[in-house]
């Protein structure tokens, strides 16, 4: 939407679209080139050659690690995977029908009480807190989900990667290397994305000189929304509703006639295609073929073709990610927590960057209500 000229002659852009709200050296989105980079590295190369641990290090520290640095960083993550026993005990009292994002948001807030650096605000203290959050969030997600289903939470692995550990904690069996590698690549693609809604809310919170946990709690609340992190859940539910390849064409055409919101399509930054979706799409089909669930890839292709033809909209990263997670046997209700599991590295990097060069984020608004009203005493109204 174009900027609107208001009474004060200041400009207004709905949703802050096109407004530069800050400076950052963490990632760059280049819509015209359909390109996304983390600290200058193309996400295509990172997802193909690196691991989530490498990318988390890159986002937090600013450079790719050498072998020794990566080993130390990975060991630190493994060491911090366990969650405090009182917090684990408290999960028993969460309602069984609570949404996993609500459980995660509340758990992260509680987790802050047990962090030895909770009162520390230095760069080093924030790095330590960030690494603990990256390490513990997979444990929180898996433990709260299993307990909500009446299952016993598992002890974190001490000899597996970040991706392998989460899949083990959730399902109780160590995944094969191909499966964990595909999952790892989704985490890399979800790890960071500029001033998106959840990241911006985290930076706003941090700009008040609040702490990292408060900022991440705010980000989690923002991510829950279906126009942000919740889109992957709704995209898969949409595919389930369609159910069969033979129903896909009529379903999407009817949905468009009824002006339904088609989840997993369109992106404010990418008008010509989300580069992350382009990476994940062939992975989704390959997995679907491997696990003999190819119909989900076929339905997706039909929806993509019609959405592009009728609405000029391309799929965003949530669309193929939903298929990947479903074929891997992951519960739909934890797709958004998985998004958070990945994005915690980006959130933490942004909070640290904000605090390192802080200025309170306090935009102005244009008043649009009535003016010059006369007060009438309550007995005369």
- Strand segments (E) across the chain: 4-5, 11-12, 27-30, 35-38, 41-42
- CA-wise closest residue to 323 among 266, 240, 251: 240
- Mean pLDDT across 10-31: 86
pLDDT of residue 7: 57
Q: Is residue 67 situated within a structural domain?
A: yes
97 plus 201 within the same structural domain: yes
Q: Is 302 helix (H, G, I), strand (E, B) or coil?
A: helix
250 plus 179 within the same structural domain: no
217 plus 248 within the same structural domain: no
Q: Is residue 8 situated within a structural domain?
A: no
Q: Is residue 106 situated within a structural domain?
A: yes
Residues catalogued as catalytic: 267, 318
157 plus 62 within the same structural domain: yes
Quote the CA–CA distance of 91 and 95 in Å, as a whole number.
9
104 plus 174 within the same structural domain: yes
pLDDT of residue 320 exceeding 90, the answer is: yes
257 plus 307 within the same structural domain: yes
Model's pTM, two decimal places?
A: 0.92
pLDDT of residue 354 exceeding 90, the answer is: yes
58 plus 162 within the same structural domain: yes
pLDDT of residue 1: 39
CATH code at position 125: 1.10.580.10
Quote the CA–CA distance of 70 and 341 in Å, as a whole number.
19
Quote the CA–CA distance of 127 and 228 in Å, as a whole number.
26
Q: Is residue 124 situated within a structural domain?
A: yes
Structurally, how many domains does the chain consist of? Answer: 2
User: pLDDT for 54-75, tens place per residue?
Assistant: 999 999 999 999 999 999 999 9
237 plus 318 within the same structural domain: yes
174 plus 312 within the same structural domain: no
Q: Is residue 201 situated within a structural domain?
A: yes
User: What is the band of 10 on the pLDDT scale with cuts at 50, 70, 90?
Assistant: low
CATH code at position 292: 1.10.230.10
Domain region containing 169:
47-224+342-356
Q: Is residue 316 situated within a structural domain?
A: yes
């Amino acid at each position: 939407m174009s900027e609107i000229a208001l009474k004060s002659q200041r400009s207004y852009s709905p949703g802050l679209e096109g407004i530069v709200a800050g400076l950052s050296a963490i990632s760059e989105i280049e819509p015209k080139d359909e390109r996304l980079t983390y600290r200058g590295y193309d996400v295509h190369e990172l997802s193909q050659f690196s691991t989530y641990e490498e990318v988390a290090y890159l986002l937090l520290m600013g450079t790719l690690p050498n072998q020794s640095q990566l080993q130390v960083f990975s060991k630190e993550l493994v060491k911090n995977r366990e969650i405090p026993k009182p917090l684990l005990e408290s999960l028993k009292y969460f309602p069984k029908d609570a949404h996993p994002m609500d459980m995660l948001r509340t758990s992260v807030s509680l987790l802050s009480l047990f962090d030895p650096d909770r009162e520390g605000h230095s760069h080093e203290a924030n790095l330590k807190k960030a690494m603990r959050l990256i390490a513990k969030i997979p444990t929180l997600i898996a433990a709260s989900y299993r307990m909500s289903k009446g299952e016993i939470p598992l002890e974190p692995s001490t000899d597996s990667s970040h991706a392998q550990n989460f899949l083990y904690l959730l399902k109780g069996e160590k995944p094969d290397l191909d499966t964990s590698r595909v999952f790892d690549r989704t985490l890399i693609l979800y790890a960071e994305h500029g001033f998106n809604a959840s990241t911006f809310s985290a930076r706003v919170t941090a700009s008040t000189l609040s702490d990292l946990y408060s900022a991440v709690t705010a980000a989690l609340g923002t991510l829950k929304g279906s126009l942000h992190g919740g889109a992957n859940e709704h995209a898969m539910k949409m595919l389930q509703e369609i159910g069969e390849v033979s129903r896909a064409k009529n379903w999407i055409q009817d949905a468009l006639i009824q002006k339904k919101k088609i989840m997993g399509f369109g992106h404010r930054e990418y008008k010509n295609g989300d580069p992350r979706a382009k990476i994940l799409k062939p992975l989704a089909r390959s997995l679907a073929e491997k696990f003999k669930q190819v119909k989900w890839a076929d339905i997706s292709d039909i929806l993509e073709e019609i959405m592009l033809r009728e609405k000029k909209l391309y799929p965003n990263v949530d669309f193929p990610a939903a298929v990947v997670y479903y074929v891997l046997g992951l519960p739909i209700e934890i797709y958004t927590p998985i998004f958070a599991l990945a994005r915690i590295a980006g959130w933490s990097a942004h909070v640290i960057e904000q605090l390192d060069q802080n200025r309170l984020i306090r935009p102005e608004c244009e008043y649009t209500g009535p003016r010059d009203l006369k007060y009438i005493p309550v007995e005369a109204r």
